[in-house]
Amino acid sequence: MLNNFLPNEHVPSVFDIDPLVLKEKGVKGVITDLDNTLVAWDVEDATDEIKRWFKKMNDHGIQVTIASNNKEARVKLFSEPLETSFIYSARKPLSKAFKKARKEMELDKSEVVVIGDQLLTDVLGGNLAGFHTILVVPIVETDGFFTQINRKIERRILNWMRRKGKITWERRNHS
């Protein structure tokens, strides 16, 4: 059961995800979380660096869909200037939003990766829906109320995985 929380990959940030490497693996689409994955959870707009990342993905023919548990106003405000598709109130880890994003991109599961900063929503949901998952380190160490609860559970799961030798990356403490 706990293996469902195990990401296929772990990287420091989305900027460590290279579209050329994705293409070599046959990836044509990305489903990414928004808050603390692309920008800090309390930042409204895309940073210049994120805009460049989206452009780089687009230039390499990789579609990006933002799937967020946040409300429509938040996700729309962020996504529309990037001209990227989005799903709000995604109810991750339920697989419906992941499947919808894949279907809208008209891609096979094997051509899509899921990127996010949380084990309990992004990684679990992506794994249960049958996608390759990439966990990123949260951008900031502060979170909204419900995410703070998730982080406590995540720490326990990560500690178990570390003890079992299932993960090897360094731990980063969260407040």
CATH code for position 71 = 3.40.50.1000
3-class SS of residue 129: coil
In a domain, 173, yes or no: no
Query: Does the residue 44 lie in any domain?
Result: yes
Provide the b/e sequence for 149-163 (b: ≥16 CB within 10 Å): eebeebeebbeebee
In this prediction, residues 101-130 reach a mean pLDDT of 96
Average pLDDT estimate for 93-110: 97
pLDDT digits (tens, 9 = 90+) for 30-42: 999 999 999 987 8
User: Residue 153 has what pLDDT?
Assistant: 78
Statement: residue 170 has pLDDT above 60: no
Question: Where in the sequence is the domain holding 139, given as residue range(s)?
Answer: 2-163
In the predicted structure, residue 114 carries a pLDDT above the cut 90:
yes
Does pLDDT of 87 surpass 50?
Answer: yes
The reported pTM is 0.85
Query: Does residue 174 sit within a domain?
Result: no
Residue 64 lies inside a defined structural domain of this protein: yes
- Distance separating alpha carbons of residues 79 and 69, to the nearest angstrom: 14
| Residue 115: inside a domain | yes
* 149 within some domain: yes
**Six-digit token string for 156:** 């326990």
Residue type at 13? S
The better pLDDT of the pair 156, 124 is held by 124
Count of domains observed in the chain: 1
Domain membership of residue 94 (yes or no) is: yes
Q: Judge whether 135 lies within some domain.
A: yes
Question: What gap in Å lies between CA 35 and CA 33, rounded to an integer?
Answer: 6
